[in-house]
Amino acid sequence: MSDLKVLSVQKRAGLGKGANRRTRQEELVPGVFYTAKGENIPVQMSARALTKIFSQVGRTTVFNLEIEGEGTHPVLIWQTQRDPIKSNFTHIDFYGVDLDKPVKITVPVEFSGVARGTKVGGKLETYREQIQLMAKPLDMPAKVTIDISGMDVGTTIQIADVQLPEGVKAAYDNNYAIISVLMPGGGDDAAAE
């Protein structure tokens, strides 16, 4: 756990709209830390430090939240709010995790290669750009890469077909398509002939 990134935060006393506005004027970002036991701790942190750690860990990587006077806790970024014009963080929620219990997280999908079917006139149809995975927090991948170079016209990769790292499984009730190569303009009629 010592090799995890660390974000230092302070407890905040003022709650509500007025107190949060004053916090933002001081170039601090208000937030809430939700512990694994269900407690809520209002916190504030430097906007610069938050932006830096968010660019390094994103929403899928565990890091340590060091609360002044409270100790260090492993967390994930749960929810963010940003200014619509400046794109600065206006509020953030941290979710405290137990490193031994699995969590469900939405992870981005990246496609690598060029599908063989697109070289003969097929059209690549992407259905999902993110998938939900379940794993222990330290085993969670930052993204899932799917190789599509072997896909011909009429083939589909479904969530059950995706190769995931050991200890990671996809969270789904029904098997669903992630990406397909289709023949444009009536691919079903051409397949029937």
Q: Along the 193 residues of the chain, how does pLDDT read in single tens digits? A: 458 888 888 887 777 777 776 777 677 888 889 888 888 888 988 888 988 999 888 888 889 988 888 888 899 888 888 888 888 888 899 999 888 999 999 999 999 999 888 888 889 999 999 999 999 989 989 899 999 998 889 999 999 988 888 989 998 888 889 999 998 875 444 444 4
E strands, 28-118, are 28-34, 40-46, 63-67, 71-82, 89-96, 103-112
Residue 56 neighbours by CB under 8 Å, 6+ apart: 5
What ranges do the domains of the chain cover? 6-96, 103-192
| Domain 6-96 CATH (choose: 3.10.50.40, 2.60.40.2310, 3.40.50.920, 2.40.240.10) | 2.40.240.10
- Regarding pTM above 0.85, the answer is no
CATH 2.170.120.20 fits 103-192, yes or no: yes
C-alpha span between 90 and 31 (Å, rounded): 9
